Structure 1
Amino acid sequence: MPQAQLKDITLNYREDGDPNGAPLVFINSLGTDLSLWDQLLPLLPAGLRIIRFDKRGHGASEVTAPPYGMGTLVRDCEQLLDLLNVRDAMILGLSIGGMIAQGLAVKRLDQVRALVLSNTAAKIGQPSMWHDRMELARHQGMAPLVEPTMERWFTKSFRNTPTVDHWRQKLLHTPVDGFIGCCAAIAGTDFYTPTSGLRLPTLGIAGSDDGSTPADLVRETTDLIPGSQFKLIRRAGHIPCVEQPEAYAEVLNTFITDTGHI
């Protein structure tokens, strides 16, 4: 996969679909990589230029020393899209990816014509919770974090399937510095005021059994943006694009069509 050399970071990214199509940019969650969207891509309509990337400290992207600021993660995405000459994109961010998407929309409306805020919020958890996880990773590595995270990410029935092993391994092998860096970015972020100033087509997606960003929290953030839509995916946890890809695609494809993106 290609590597983008930005001002202070090298990011791994991938493009699929129609190179001349309407841009759809995916931003991953904490502890995952761009394979998060693999099951979803075949279910998307033609006519899209699909861009995915591994954020700083994740996947095959460069790992820099923590902590990271949310502004840094937003700037990474902004610079990548500038490098790829992307304007008027639909930006879909999941969890921390949704925070990055909010920050990007506030900063660069020329790059963002529509938002999909999936399993995310303007503020996620309390700083003390993130600092506890950072300390655990710093002193014991990623292993103690894996099973509690799987419980928040996936429904009980889905955790019994072989698919979950892939995501256990992804989290287990996330670089500790990358994990700590992004935890610090989440801990320091409260986007309630800037997000409430956005005026663009927005879809919020939540999972009925999300243990990280409960549906009411996702709805609260989505409701900050006038005219936004909210969809609940049943029998899904924090990563419904993995657990319920068909239902996720149906919701996303309807929004793509309704906004006239293709």
Structure 2
Amino acid sequence: MPLAFLPDLRLNYADQGTGPAVVFSHALGLDLRMWDAVLPLLPLGLRLIRYDHRGHGGSDVPDPPYAMGAMVRDAERLLDHLGVKDCVFVGLSLGGLVAQGLAVKRLDLVRGMVLSNTAARIGIESQWRARADLVAEQGIAALADATMERWFTRTFRAEGHHLPWRARLLDCNPAGYRGACAAIGGTDFYTPTASLTLPTLVIAGSEDGSTPPDLVRETADLIAGADFQLIRRSGHLPAIDAPETFATALTSFLRRIGHV
């Protein structure tokens, strides 16, 4: 996959198709492959862009901690590098925080957004600091099983479907994971997100142990005119455990706003 050579960072990305752009921003500890099951289910005639956050996948790993402003700026500079304007930005969990920050900063880049399993604020800073400290001391393996329990339903795990994603989490660079924990812990977008008026779809999973549906709905209520959709029997990563439902919701949103 190509690398975008930004002034101080190389970002790994994938760019396929032509037409109106849809940009995908992944969850903490994963990479752009998180969207693999969704993309083939989307309509033709779209430019589909995915990228790895700093510290993740094939992107560079600066020393932690990271600021959310830097992660938003990474997305901004990537889209400028690719000549993208007026995209629909799809962000899940950490990617949803990036989406909110980018929409506030650069409305010329984002004409609509999908916020999946995310919130204007996720947890509290001390929680994220403790998680980063645990990874520094014991590695990502120390929190892998608890993360799987928060991410996926009991049925999904009982059938072993979580195992490839556990392996991908373990492949995440610990410094990158710690850096992103700091970014999440330091972010409170309640006030800026409440100022947004662009078309927005907000998605929650009924069995999400990381960003429960009530928290996600609270963020939807901040944005004037936002649509909210609950995906039942789905956890924190519906792009993985319910890709057909996720793709259907995304396609419906794209059609409603005239992006496809």
Q: What is the alpha-carbon distance in structure 2 between the residues aligned to residue 73 and residue 43 of structure 1?
A: 28
Give 1:164 shift.
1.3
5 Å-filtered alignment, 1:11-90, equals 11-18=11-18, 21-90=19-88
Cα deviation digits, residues 135-178 of structure 1 (max 9, x gap): 10000011111000000000000012343111101111110110
Q: Secondary structure at the match of 1:249?
A: helix
Deviation at 1:113, TM superposition (A): 0.1
Q: Which runs of 5+ in 1 are unaligned?
A: none
Give the residue type in structure 1 aligned to 2:215: L
SS at match of 1:171: helix
Aligned partner of 1:6 in structure 2 is 6
Show structure 1 runs of 4+ deviating over 6 A: none
| 2:231 equivalent to 1:233 | yes
2:95 corresponding residue in structure 1: 97
Aligned equivalents of 2:56 and 2:159: distance in 1?
A: 25
Q: CA deviation at 1:117?
A: 0.4
Give the drift of 1:229: 0.2
- 191, 195, 198: which one pairs with 2:196? 198
Identity %: 58
- In the alignment, the residues of structure 1 paired with residue 7 and residue 207 of structure 2 have an alpha-carbon distance, to the nearest angstrom, of 40
Q: Secondary structure at the match of 1:163?
A: coil
Q: Aligned partners of 2:11, 2:158: CA distance in 1, in Å?
A: 33
State the Cα deviation string for residues 44-94 of structure 1 (Å, max 9, x = none): 001110000000000011111000000000000000000000000000000
1:179 deviation in Å?
Answer: 0.3
Which of 96, 105, 108 is residue 107 of structure 1 equivalent to? 105
- For each residue in 1:199-258, what CA deviation from the matched residue of structure 2 results, as whole angstroms up to 9, or x when unmatched? 100000000000000011111111111111000000000001100111111111110100
AA paired with 1:156? R
> Matched residue pairs, number?
260
Which one of the candidate residues 254, 257, 260 is aligned to 1:256?
Answer: 254
Q: Are residue 245 (structure 1) and residue 239 (structure 2) matched?
A: no
